């Protein structure tokens, strides 16, 4: 299976970049499954149901969220009408939405997408490690589902790496989101799971993690609230990861970084 994962969409620039470039990128990579983190798509904070539908229509199969899941209040009541939009599975019981979704491809193959959120320097949610283990017990990789992808939305690189190694050999791909900076550690772990600490973002990199430089840097200089942060509005770079898996085992055979457009060096896998 050919899998494309794109990192956090930040603001209108990120949304417009994804909507404009995803159809061609998906075709170029011949991607069977496209997953995008969309939790910062609405002015940098949250995702509206209307935006989710636009991103899905552009070619995403699944949208993941994160710590900004409920910044757009409409998503609290609307997420249950969007089964391909998932939030972290370790939110407390009774939280709207779901942390896992299953996708059936046109040829009948199945893929499972999950999201968990870390706890170091983040909200004190239920344990993401135990929660993920409970969900994984419902599937048999390569048998009941041909691929399992987990978006681990976390701040600390150590927690992300610990999570990846914990589920090595049990899933196809573990990818980190949240920090908006693409890491250079794309690899296949010893047990066969593809891994990257952070996929980066879909947004303007002439910024501070996607937000306007002036407001963000002023906060560091003066340690006082400045004007409300707003997304940078230059050309977006689509950052993400491309993974190929073996349908029989569900394990990874290839992983490469994806960077398209904008300021960063370009990287498009040859398929």
- By annotation, the residues acting in catalysis are 68
Q: Pick from 124, 120, 230: which is nearest to 179 by CA?
A: 120
Angle between helices 128-136 and 157-166 (to 10 degrees): 30
Structure tokens at 71: 């910044």
Buried b (16+ CB within 10 A) or exposed e, 197-213: bbbbbbbbbebbbbbbe
Q: Are 188 and 195 in contact (CB under 8 A)?
A: yes
CB 145 within 8 A of CB 135: no
Give the Cα separation of 212 and 234 in Å (integer): 10
d(CA 101, CA 115): 9
């Amino acid at each position: 299976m050919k899998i494309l994962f794109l990192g956090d969409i930040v603001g209108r620039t990120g949304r417009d970049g994804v909507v404009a470039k995803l159809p061609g990128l998906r075709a170029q990579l011949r991607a069977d499954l496209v997953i995008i983190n969309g939790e910062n798509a609405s002015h940098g904070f949250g995702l509206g149901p209307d935006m989710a539908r636009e991103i899905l229509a552009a070619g995403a199969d699944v949208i993941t969220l994160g710590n900004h899941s409920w910044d757009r209040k409409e998503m609290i009541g609307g997420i249950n009408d969007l089964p391909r939009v998932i939030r972290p599975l370790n939110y407390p019981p009774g939280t709207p939405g779901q942390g896992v979704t299953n996708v059936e491809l046109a040829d009948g193959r199945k893929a499972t997408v999950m999201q968990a959120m870390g706890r170091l320097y983040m909200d004190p949610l239920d344990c993401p490690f135990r929660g993920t283990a409970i969900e994984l017990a419902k599937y048999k990789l390569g048998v009941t589902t041909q691929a399992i992808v987990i978006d681990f939305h976390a701040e600390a690189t150590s927690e992300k790496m610990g999570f990846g190694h914990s589920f090595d050999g049990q899933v196809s791909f573990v990818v980190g989101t949240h920090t908006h900076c693409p890491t250079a550690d794309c690899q296949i772990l010893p047990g066969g799971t593809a891994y990257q600490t952070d996929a980066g973002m879909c947004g303007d990199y002439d910024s501070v993690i996607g937000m306007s430089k002036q407001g963000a840097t002023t906060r560091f200089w003066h340690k006082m609230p400045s004007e409300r942060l707003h997304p940078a509005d230059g050309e977006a770079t689509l950052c993400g990861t491309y993974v190929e898996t073996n349908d029989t085992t569900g394990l990874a055979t290839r992983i490469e970084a994806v960077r398209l457009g904008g300021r960063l060096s370009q990287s498009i896998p040859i398929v």
